[in-house]
Amino acid sequence: MYAETSNKPVPHTGDSQGTAPLPSVPPVTSPSAFGTVTLAPPVPPARPRDKKRVGPAVFVTCLVAAGLLGGGAASGVSALWPYAPAHAATTVQAAISPVIVNNTESVNAVTAAAQKASPSVVTISTSSGSSGGTGSGIILDTEGHILTNTHVVTVDGAAADAAVEVRTNDGQVFKATIVGTDPLSDLAVIKIDAQGLTPATLGDSGAVNVGDTAIAIGAPLGLSGTVTDGIVSAVNRTIETESSATSQGSSTQDSISINVIQTDAAINPGNSGGALVNAQGEIIGVNVAIASAGSSSSSSGNIGVGFSIPINQAKRAEEIISTGKATHGQLGLTVQDKTSGSSSDFTAGAEVASVTPASAADKAGLQSGDVVTGLAGRTVTNASELTAAAREQAAGTTVKITFQRDGQEQTADITLGAAS
């Protein structure tokens, strides 16, 4: 049984000598969360001024030395966040790694897309007490706003006021402040005071097709500027992952349901908050989690099943920048999975167990026993998908809900309440 009316969501990734010049690329106009920005043509990144580590480099070493990549029988979905104790003795430097083109005559689409997008992807180091890790982020504007995951900036829910540093693609390091977090979508915005930033070109995740090229850029295992590619494996996938909401420095241990793009581009712990990019170099998603086949869900490596928050949803970061948080829709229902048959393992909707009086669902005329099969244009096959579909809408949004009552399909308009 899933209490949708609860104030918590329903449980459920070095410079090289002799490098050839990069191909000439004309200026492009880049949409962002703040309107249209004209970007200068990409230029070869300058040689890093030093090879110093950014933040506690023990994060990379401890992830490996502590055996956090071990396997196991359990499976699940885990956020891409590596932990490391502050007292670890061994350190490893992750060298700055801009996109290097050594042979301009054999540049392929992935190289071109990575060259365009990489200047907009940063590495994030976060620490609080003995906990910390490295993640990734996406530059939104020239004012220094950077999009990432809540679980990155809260050290997986362990800290509400973690120390945050950012290393840009050209090797510069900046202190960052947390503008706001949104645990229900696992999105957050931080800000740095820097000049000459390159805002990302945001694409349209609603136009993504299964089979499209997908390129992941970020800092897996702390290795800044790593580029991997694959395809879009699925769209409109709903996953459940642990919430990173904080309460006096402690994780709430609740889980959240979010709609994602699935990809087989290799992503690993540290890719969190980084970019999923299409063949045109446009951001189509924010990498957030991987499917885990290991017993340690927080540290399992890539098995070809990764998940990214669609950029159309992540564009609501403007709301976080404006108010420090984002609103989410709520139906006012208690629901459970509706199975396809008495002995079936497959589900066919979200069955309403109860309706909260005066709630959005009550005002729309839903009743106990109704089976919800769609919301806001999304197909609903279980309770988790219904929760995710409601939460990705802003509070106060009016959408269409589809449900079955006594075997007959019905629709209604529903104005969503506010999840708290």
Predicted confidence at residue 248, as pLDDT, reads 39
Predicted confidence at residue 320, as pLDDT, reads 95
Query: What is the reported pTM?
Result: 0.76
Convert the pLDDT of each residue in 246-266 to its tens digit.
Answer: 653 344 447 899 999 999 999
- The active-site residue, picked from 30, 97, 141, 151, is 151
Taking the alpha carbons at both ends of the chain, their separation in whole angstroms is 20
- The active-site residue, picked from 141, 156, 186, 370, is 186
Within 137-272, residue ranges assigned H as helices are 150-153
DSSP 376: T
Predicted confidence at residue 159, as pLDDT, reads 86
Residues 45 and 151: their CA atoms lie apart, in Å, by 30
Q: How is the chain split into domains, by residue range?
A: 13-323, 329-418
Predicted confidence at residue 157, as pLDDT, reads 86
329-418, superfamily in CATH? PDZ domain (2.30.42.10)
Q: In terms of residues, how long is the chain?
A: 420
Q: Is 151 a catalytic residue?
A: yes
Give me the percent of the chain exceeding a pLDDT of 90. Answer: 60
Note the maximum CA span of the chain. 72
- The active-site residue, picked from 118, 136, 272, 292, is 272
Question: What is the average pLDDT value for the chain, to the nearest integer?
Answer: 79
CA atoms within 13 A of residue 393's CA, in its CB half-sphere: 24
Residues 326 and 392: their CA atoms lie apart, in Å, by 10
Hey, what CATH topology would domain 13-323 get?
Thrombin, subunit H (2.40.10)
pLDDT exceeds cutoff 90 at 91: no
Say if residues 146 and 190 touch (Cβ distance below 8 Å): yes
Give me the percent of the chain exceeding a pLDDT of 70. Answer: 72
Per residue, the 3-state secondary structure of 366-420, as one string, reads CCCCCEEEEECCEECCCHHHHHHHHHCCCCCCEEEEEEEECCEEEEEEEECEECC
pLDDT exceeds cutoff 90 at 88: no
Predicted confidence at residue 32, as pLDDT, reads 45
Predicted confidence at residue 294, as pLDDT, reads 61
What are the DSSP E strand ranges found in 340-377?
347-355, 371-375
Convert the pLDDT of each residue in 107-124 to its tens digit.
Answer: 899 999 999 999 999 999
Say if residues 134 and 149 touch (Cβ distance below 8 Å): no
Convert the pLDDT of each residue in 92-105 to its tens digit.
Answer: 344 455 678 788 88
Q: Is 186 a catalytic residue?
A: yes
